[in-house]
Structure 1
Amino acid sequence: MKVRAPKNRTIDLTNEDRERFSQGLIRLDGDRALADLLNQTICQDVLEALRHLPPNFVDLLIVDPPYNLTKTFNGQTFRQCDRPTYTAWLERWITQLKPALKPSASAYFCADWATSTVLYPVLEKHFTVRNRITWEREKGRGAQANWKNASEDIWFCTVSETYTFNVEAVKLKRQVLAPYRTLAGQPKDWDDTGAKNYRLTHPSNLWTDITVPFWSMVENTDHPTQKPEKLVAKLLLASSNPGDVVLDPFLGSGTTAVVAKKLGRQYLGIEQDPDYCCLAEKRLALAGTDPTIQGYADGVFWERNTLNAQRSRPKKSTSKA
């Protein structure tokens, strides 16, 4: 285990953790009943596992596959390939994955800018593509001979014209810079809190309020492409309801399963690396005692770096002189 600085909150995996959490992992060698799959982590290659999943049981699909980049995941390297090869790889698992979805299911697919150009034509063949979310990924070093790559995409797809979208659940609390008042002097569509004023705004497809996990955050792990819990929470709250089943076929360090547990959804994750599977199970155990999601509180999402300041601000006095 790595030696961390005193204030480093990165979740580590000890040998005792591996022994404990590996016992709860499952592997599919044949078809299983749905009840045996819910709220489980499958430790297996995705193509092997998908053929044994039951049909039409998934309400929400969240997919964060290896992008078409050379990247090492715990000693295993996914290598960049030409577009036809990557397209064929996408087709292989997407065609096996789709039968598991309900007709009313929604699906979100993550990608960087280059992978998006290959992914979109494949998605268009199998789903109704409804939008492309672009989120600001502010972490990372600058480029010397190019623009810094500081954004990623999430493709929003549905199986049919019938799907869930809970717009009220994913509104963003934004600071009001030029507030309006009624003729009577009352705030119009915003909250008067004193020093700073906030209002709820409709969610757009441009997200600038996401913080990429880093060493001082309790959700941080050593997974090289870990997605923030706040990001996944937006997808779950918008496109599923309590008790719905969420599937993540490239689970990684477990963020989708963790957020599903925190928000009262059922989940199923597939991940081929045993260490990442155990890390996901450890995070799930921690979620049982700490259901908080950074940047999401009181039923709303807050702009980056505003929630703590708003909570620490003294409340406006209601007493009269």
Structure 2
Amino acid sequence: MITISNEDNMTLMSRYPDQYFDLAIVDPPYGILNKTKRGGDYKFNMKEYSQWDIKPNQAYFDELFRVSKNQIIWGGNYFGELWLRSEYNKGFIIWDKNQPETLNNFAMAEMAWSSLDKPSKIFRFSVRKNRNKIHPTQKPIELYQWLLKMYAKQGDKILDTHLGSGTLAIACYIAKLELTACEISENYFQQAVEKIQADLPEVSISYPQSGLCLIK
């Protein structure tokens, strides 16, 4: 079951008891998009997403760690407080974007902080295959499929506090894993639902109440 809602993530997390989720895989705003248009970002409204490109505060991370047993947090290099939670940070994750080093204004990789006591890993997948984005920070479905294969197991409850384009929801559906996710923007929420339906035409989508979507 994939359950996605159009709501604030603090509201969603407040409904769950301590350590309810086995693994949180989240991609919160890094606070860096509010700068210069680059590459494929030209089609996105800079004024619009500068309004949400705000780094989460301490309360968000405290709640995330309360409701989940383990966490994979994209943009870990932007959130210094994460590294202070443990004296031994081992299992960080790198997405090698296969970006030419000559493109000085493009990152060649992205980093995720992880609470998992596992060796650090690198996933190599060209960012150029991640086209036709509906969200400026959209991650490839293939990246999330790899993460789930490496770090999740059947029966796990997965949490995503920033649904964005819905690519993690698609990967969880394919992997037959339960996901609870939310997106605060009504526009991105609707686009994510449309993308899920387009990529997974066989799914059954229901709306038991406003702002809530169940995918089977």
Q: How would you bin the TM-score normalised by the shorter chain?
A: 0.7 to 0.9
Separation in structure 2 between the aligned mates of residue 56 and residue 148 of structure 1, nearest angstrom: 37
Structure 2 counterpart of 1:268, from 180, 190, 215? 180
Give the Å deviation of 1:284.
Answer: 2.8
For 1:25-64, what aligned pairs fall within 5 Å after superposition?
39-64=2-27
Give the Å deviation of 1:212.
Answer: 4.7
Separation in structure 2 between the aligned mates of residue 288 and residue 280 of structure 1, nearest angstrom: 12
Structure 2 counterpart of 1:93, from 60, 63, 85? 60
| Closer/same/farther in 2, CA of residues 99 and 204 from structure 1, 3 Å limit | closer
- Quick one: which amino acid aligns to residue 92 of structure 1? A
* Structure in which a larger fraction of residues adopt helix: 2
1:42-99 Cα shifts (integer Å, max 9, x gaps): 2112223322233322111111111121346782424778xxxx5xx44120101222
The question of whether the paired residues in 1 share the 8 Å contact of 2:130 and 2:140 is answered with no
Gapped regions of structure 1 (runs ≥ 5):
1-37, 166-202, 292-321
Separation in structure 2 between the aligned mates of residue 248 and residue 126 of structure 1, nearest angstrom: 22
Q: Could you say which residue in structure 2 is the equivalent of 1:313?
A: none
Greater RCO, CA 8 A, separation 6+: 2
**3-state SS in 2 of match to 1:226:** coil
Root mean square deviation of aligned Cα: 3.3
Structure 1 counterpart of 2:143, from 225, 231, 242? 231
Gapped regions of structure 2 (runs ≥ 5):
35-44, 204-216
Amino-acid identity (%):
21
Larger Rg: 1
Q: Could you say which residue in structure 2 is the equivalent of 1:75?
A: 48
Give the Å deviation of 1:106.
Answer: 2.8
Q: Could you say which residue in structure 1 is the equivalent of 2:112?
A: 154
The question of whether the paired residues in 1 share the 8 Å contact of 2:32 and 2:53 is answered with yes
- Quick one: which amino acid aligns to residue 232 of structure 1? Y
Q: Could you say which residue in structure 2 is the equivalent of 1:108?
A: 72
The question of whether the paired residues in 2 share the 8 Å contact of 1:210 and 1:231 is answered with no
Separation in structure 1 between the aligned mates of residue 46 and residue 2 of structure 2, nearest angstrom: 24
TM value normalised by structure 2 = 0.73
TM value normalised by structure 1 = 0.52
Q: Could you say which residue in structure 1 is the equivalent of 2:90?
A: 130
Separation in structure 2 between the aligned mates of residue 129 and residue 204 of structure 1, nearest angstrom: 10
Separation in structure 1 between the aligned mates of residue 143 and residue 110 of structure 2, nearest angstrom: 12
